[in-house]
Amino acid sequence: MAGLREQRKKRTRAAILEAALHLFSRQGYENTSINQMAKAAGIGKGTIYSYFQSKSEIFLAFCEDQFVFIDRELSEKSRRGKPLIEQLLTLFMGEFQFVSRNKEFGRILMRETVFPKELTVERSQELDNKYIELMVPLFKQAQKRGELRTDLELILVVGHFYGLYIMTVSGWYMGRLLTEEDVAMVLESLFLQALEGLSPAGTKKAMHNE
């Protein structure tokens, strides 16, 4: 009895997400109106706005779930001592598959997480933090194996690879990369560039070290 209210709220929230998931996957995000979702969830339009701040938030809500799930799963799978670059490719390509499964979904997700509005900044930061938590261990292991410099701020390393991932996804949205293979190839090339360095061999930390 303590949480009668709470329980109802949870059920309503779940009902909204379920209705949304159903409608989104049947007719896409843009073609689904808040009213439709409300009707499908058996509630009034206004009620939705006491559970979510905006339409895109509804979408992001289960995007994030699925996203984090994928990441967890992939990172488990790729944890066993493979080279860093393979681990990263597995991780990011898994994510890309989720994005590319529905271009429209993915675009909103990427736009909202990479360039968030003030309203959704917090949400995006949360997602971002999960990312960092996820990747930092990978990098630490790679450092132990001698695959990664130890004099770097790991958060910048995360940013580096994530930036290259965003760039690649952008290339896909721009129509420069058409197939999943294209994306995988470019991503790998960029990652290799990052690891090997863009300046000619020997130019680099030699300056500092020798």
Pull the structure tokens for residue 174: 């721009």
Stretch of residues binding a second copy (CB under 8 A), selected from 10-18, 31-39, 53-61, 199-207 = 199-207
Contact yes or no for 135/161 (Cβ under 8 A): yes
Shortest distance, CB of residue 76 to a second copy, whole angstroms?
24
Could you tell me how many residues make up the chain? 210
Nearest to 149 by CA among 200, 209, 109, 91: 209
List the single partner that 81 binds among DNA, a second copy, none, CB under 5 to 8 Å by kind: none
Shortest distance, CB of residue 105 to a second copy, whole angstroms?
12
- Residue 9 or 145 having the CB closest to DNA: 9
Q: Using the rule CB under 8 A, which residue among 24, 173, 180, 181 binds a second copy?
A: 173
Distances in whole angstroms, Cα of residue 78 to Cα of each of 68, 87, 109, 188: 15, 5, 24, 16
Pull the structure tokens for residue 164: 């290259």
Under rule CB under 8 A, residue 148 binds a second copy: yes
Q: Which residues bind DNA (CB under 7 A)?
A: 1, 3-5, 8-9, 12, 32-36, 38, 43-47, 49-51, 54-56
